[in-house]
């Protein structure tokens, strides 16, 4: 049980769904897989020779025989596998040679296993086991082409053609003897494949039922669209998101500063930058910054507001609502000479880094080195109200999201941590009067971190330096999916040594960096020293270009279509129920189908 008050069932569902991404792997290069396929066929042929002729040949004859049998194994196993991969790539361009070759390698393993089973079975008076392997290889190719690569009709063609290749070379083989009648063999091969195809469609029907009932969409189509995004960044699945999303009203806050002929907009939309890849709002920190900079000429820092995955935009097109709200906020700005102070409010595990400027403030929430994760929108409104009640005209509330400990969690209304955040903000607001307000100097710098080799989104690194008398605050913002507590501490210490006080790390929690390796990609696990050096260089640049600032802050409401609370939890529950069904149904159906194939082939 986590240290906060989130429901166990809710978190358990999220963790179980997230663990499904652990099954995604990065494939080797196509050339390496090709070599594996050749080696598999050759080793199979050599093994078959050694089993059949062990002790019956010696010396040169033995070596020559083994080598010849190895070549026969390449013809039997490797050649049809390679032909199948080339055919798949020709039929569907997205089935790249590397992916097709990997499927061919797995199917070759199935064929080898079935040939070995057939050889052992014939020795014991049992035959036709090889046809079970043909059926399994058929559905492997069919499901791969249908689900993974989105082929509806071409999937059957690819699967059927690879059967022809393997059946032809099996008939020609000197290693495995099945039947002297090619017509009979082809009939048995396709009979086995047809029975397995019926079994696959039965499983499809079973898996589709929960998703159809709850969302009106097919689980198979949804999985295909999901994989299309993951493998080739397709946005087609956003159409599905549109059908299950709901419109909500939320807010976007903007802190605007003008200094030395330049301007900086610090934007906090209360939405979540997910779900993953380039879908929904995952790339919003970059897209919003580019859109607003183009419209206003300002530098832009986009922070993480108080919102959970329930507030993931359903499509990238929802950025229009954010951009319009920011535009309205900027139009209402009335700039004044900025006087500021900085206070850190504290309560138990929570801290609020509060920058007070004139009659408004920016408050950054953190629990580092403890888990600092998403804060529910309604809870964020309650926390913000603490500062408003203290007399602030407007408040920009930011979730620093700067301590990724590996725990998947969220903070909702009624959570004890929420009250700690409230008390921390109240403590900071109470201390605002004690901190003398002084003229504010502001500076800004950025680093795209492009090709730097760390999990950072398109907005890269951005930071501001705020100086007010002898006090200073440096918010360091990474377009990242969190940072490790160790890296955060190391960065803050390094900034102090470089002469910068009151530094805090922020991340956008962008899910654009979430790819095949999973959904937890914190910054700081690699190249931490080099990254810190880049941050310090930016801070020195920002300090150098700092100037007296004028400022204002505005908050606007906006309507936006998101996944929604009910849809998010219902989707997680549906996925987990399908997985639970699959764990039982898939083995049971495949075993029953294999037995049916053996009975049917024996009676043909």
* pLDDT, tens digit (0-9, with 9 covering 90-100), for 542-562: 999 999 999 999 999 999 999
pLDDT of res. 339:
96
- The SS3 of residue 561 is strand
Output the pTM of the full model.
0.78
Q: Which of 10, 580, 575 is nearest to 310 (CA)?
A: 10
Confidence of residue 262 (pLDDT cuts 50, 70, 90): very high
Contact criterion met (CB below 8 Å) for 329 and 300: no
60-113 tens-digit pLDDT: 456 777 788 888 889 999 999 999 999 988 887 777 888 899 999 999 999 999
Closest C-alpha to 366, from 388, 344, 342: 344
pLDDT at 571: 65
Q: For residue 177, what pLDDT is reported?
A: 66
Q: Which of 588, 594, 574, 584 is nearest to 13 (CA)?
A: 574
How many Å apart are CA 541 and CA 474, to the nearest integer? 12
Structural contact between residues 551 and 255, judged by C-beta atoms closer than 8 angstroms: yes
Confidence at 483, pLDDT banded by 50, 70, 90:
very high
What is residue 233's predicted lDDT score, i.e. its pLDDT?
65
Mean pLDDT across the chain, nearest whole number?
85
Question: Is residue 304 scored above 60 in pLDDT?
Answer: yes
Angle at 316 between CA 311 and CA 322, to 5 degrees: 65
Q: Cβ(572)–Cβ(17) under 8 Å?
A: yes
Q: Is 499 helix (H, G, I), strand (E, B) or coil?
A: coil
Provide the token pair at 306: 């108080």
Q: Is the pLDDT of residue 383 over 80?
A: yes
Q: What is the mean pLDDT of residues 268-290?
A: 90
CB 161 within 8 A of CB 144: no
- Percentage of the chain with pLDDT > 70? 84
Report, as an integer, the average pLDDT of 263-269.
Answer: 97
Report yes or no: 602 and 121 within 8 Å, Cβ to Cβ. Answer: no
Q: What's the pLDDT at 213?
A: 74
SS3 category, 353: strand
SS3 395: strand
Classify burial at 156, counting beta carbons within 10 Å of its beta carbon; exposed 0-12, middle 13-18, buried 19 or more.
middle
Outline where DSSP puts E strands in 501-591. 503-507, 547-562
Report the pLDDT averaged over residues 286-305.
96
> Using 50, 70 and 90 to split pLDDT, how confident is the model at 29?
confident
Percent of the chain clearing pLDDT 90 (strictly above): 50
What confidence score (pLDDT) does residue 433 get? 59
């Amino acid at each position: 049980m986590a240290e906060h008050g989130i429901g166990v069932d809710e978190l358990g569902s999220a963790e179980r769904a997230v663990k499904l991404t652990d099954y995604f792997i990065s494939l080797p290069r196509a050339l390496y897989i090709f070599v594996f396929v050749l080696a598999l066929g050759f080793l199979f042929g050599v093994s078959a020779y050694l089993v059949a002729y062990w002790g019956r040949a010696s010396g040169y004859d033995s070596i020559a025989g083994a080598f010849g049998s190895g070549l026969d194994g390449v013809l039997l196993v490797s050649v049809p596998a390679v032909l199948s991969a080339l055919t798949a790539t020709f039929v569907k361009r997205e089935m790249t040679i590397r992916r097709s070759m990997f499927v061919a390698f797995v199917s070759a393993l199935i064929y080898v296993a079935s040939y070995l089973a057939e050889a052992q079975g014939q020795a014991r008076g049992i035959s036709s086991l090889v046809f079970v392997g043909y059926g399994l290889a058929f559905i492997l190719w069919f499901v791969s082409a249908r689900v993974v690569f989105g082929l509806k009709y071409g999937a059957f063609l690819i699967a059927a053609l690879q059967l022809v290749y393997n059946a032809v070379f099996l008939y020609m083989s000197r290693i495995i003897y099945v039947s002297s009648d090619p017509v009979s063999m082809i009939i048995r091969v396709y009979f086995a494949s047809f029975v397995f195809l019926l079994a696959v469609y039965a499983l499809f029907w079973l898996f589709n039922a929960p998703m159809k009932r709850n969302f009106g969409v097919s689980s198979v189509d949804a999985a295909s669209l999901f994989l299309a995004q993951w493998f080739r960044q397709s946005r087609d699945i956003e159409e599905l998101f549109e059908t299950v999303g709901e419109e909500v009203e939320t807010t976007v806050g903007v802190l605007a500063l003008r200094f030395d002929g330049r301007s900086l907009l610090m934007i906090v939309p209360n939405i979540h930058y997910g779900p993953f890849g380039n879908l929904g709002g995952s790339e919003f920190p970059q897209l919003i910054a580019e859109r607003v900079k183009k419209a206003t000429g300002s530098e832009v820092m986009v922070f993480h507001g108080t919102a959970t995955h329930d507030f993931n935009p359903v499509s990238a097109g929802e950025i229009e609502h954010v951009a319009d709200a920011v535009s309205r906020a900027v139009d209402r700005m009335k700039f004044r000479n900025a006087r500021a102070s900085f206070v850190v409010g504290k309560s138990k595990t929570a801290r609020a880094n509060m920058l007070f400027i004139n009659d408004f403030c920016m408050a950054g929430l953190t629990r580092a080195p403890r888990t600092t994760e998403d804060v529910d929108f309604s809870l964020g409104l309650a926390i913000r109200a603490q500062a408003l009640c203290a007399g602030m005209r407007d408040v920009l509330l930011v979730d620093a999201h700067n301590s990724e400990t590996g725990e998947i969690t969220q903070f909702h209304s009624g959570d004890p941590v929420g009250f700690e955040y409230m008390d921390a903000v109240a403590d900071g607001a109470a201390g605002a009067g004690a901190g003398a307000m002084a003229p504010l100097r502001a500076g800004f710098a950025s680093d795209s971190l492009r090709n730097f080799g760390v999990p950072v989104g398109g907005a890269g690194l951005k930071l501001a330096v705020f100086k007010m008398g002898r006090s200073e605050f440096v918010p360091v913002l990474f377009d990242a999916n969190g940072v490790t507590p160790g890296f955060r501490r190391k960065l803050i210490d390094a900034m102090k040594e470089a002469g910068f006080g009151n530094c805090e790390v922020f991340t956008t929690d962008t899910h654009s960096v979430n790819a095949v390796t999973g959904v937890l990609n914190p910054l700081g696990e690699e190249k931490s020293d080099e990254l810190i050096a880049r941050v310090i260089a930016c801070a020195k640049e920002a300090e150098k270009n700092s100037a007296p600032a004028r400022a204002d802050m505005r908050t606007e409401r906006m309507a936006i279509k998101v996944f929604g609370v009910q849809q998010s939890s219902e989707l997680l529950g549906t996925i987990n129920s399908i997985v639970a069904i699959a764990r039982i149904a898939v083995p049971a159906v495949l075993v029953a189908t294999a037995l049916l194939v053996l009975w049917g082939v024996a009676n043909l």
